[in-house]
C-alpha cells in the first residue's frame, strides 16, 4: 500500500490524502515490527554494523520506501566497507560507536557524529579507519567541517572548553551551555 500511494505522490505531489495514508500505514508497520526496529537500532549502538545491515533488510522488506531506512542503508554500506564491527575495547572506539549512533541511529544527530569521530581521531590519531569514517561524514556533509575550526595543535575537547569560556566571558550563556552539552 505504501508503495502504491508513493507512486501516486510521484504523479501528484499535492495529494494530501496519499500522505496521510502513507503515514498511517507506516505507523501500523512500525507497531508490528517494533521489536525488529529495536533490535536493529541496538546493533547500531553496539557497533555491529554488518549485523544491523541484515536487520535493516528485513525492515526494508516491510517498507521499501521508508526515507530514513533508505538513508541509513546507503550510509551503512559505506560504513561497513571501512569498519564492519566496532570493538568497544578502547575509549576511541567507544567514541566512534557514539558518533556512528548519531549518523546511523533512530534520530540523526550529525553534530554528535562529527564530534564523536573527531574526538576518536584525537584519542587515536594513528588509526586510519577513524580518519576514513570522518572523511565519509565530511564528504556527505561538507558544512560540518565549517562548524568550528580547532586551533592547530589543540585537542577537540580543549578547544570546545575554550569556546565555551569565551561565550561565558561574552555573556552568551546559552551558547556556552550548548557547547558544554557537546562536550
The per-residue pLDDT for range 29-63, each reduced to its tens digit, is 777 778 888 899 999 999 999 999 999 998 888 87
Among candidate residues 53, 146, 133, the one with its CA nearest the CA of residue 92: 133
DSSP 150: P
Find the Cα–Cα–Cα–Cα dihedral 81, 67, 97, 115, rounded to 10°: 110
Nearest CA-CA partner of 148 in 178, 107, 108: 178
Q: What is the pTM of this model?
A: 0.73
Pairwise CA distance, residues 81 & 98, whole Å:
18
- The lowest-confidence range among 5-9, 11-15, 148-152 is 148-152
Measured CA distances, 72 to 99, 108, 168 (Å): 14, 10, 38
Of 10-19, 85-94, 106-115, the poorest mean pLDDT is in 10-19
Amino acid at each position: 500500500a505504501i508503495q502504491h500511494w508513493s507512486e501516486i505522490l510521484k504523479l501528484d505531489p499535492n495529494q494530501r490524502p496519499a500522505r496521510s495514508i502513507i503515514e498511517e500505514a507506516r505507523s501500523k508497520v512500525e507497531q508490528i515490527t517494533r521489536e525488529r526496529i529495536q533490535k536493529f537500532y541496538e546493533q547500531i549502538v553496539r557497533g555491529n554494523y554488518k549485523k544491523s545491515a541484515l536487520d535493516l533488510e528485513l525492515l526494508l522488506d516491510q517498507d521499501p520506501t521508508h526515507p530514513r531506512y533508505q538513508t541509513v542503508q546507503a550510509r551503512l554500506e559505506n560504513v561497513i566497507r571501512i569498519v564492519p564491527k566496532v570493538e568497544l575495547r578502547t575509549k576511541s572506539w567507544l567514541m566512534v560507536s557514539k558518533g556512528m549512533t548519531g549518523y546511523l541511529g533512530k534520530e540523526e544527530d550529525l553534530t554528535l557524529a562529527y564530534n564523536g569521530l573527531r574526538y576518536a581521531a584525537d584519542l587515536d590519531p594513528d588509526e586510519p579507519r577513524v580518519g576514513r569514517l570522518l572523511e565519509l561524514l565530511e564528504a556527505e556533509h561538507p558544512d560540518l567541517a565549517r562548524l568550528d575550526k580547532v586551533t592547530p595543535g589543540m585537542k577537540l575537547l580543549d578547544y570546545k572548553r575554550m569556546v565555551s569560556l569565551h561565550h561565558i566571558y561574552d555573556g552568551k550563556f546559552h551558547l556556552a551551555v550548548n557547547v558544554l552539552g557537546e562536550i
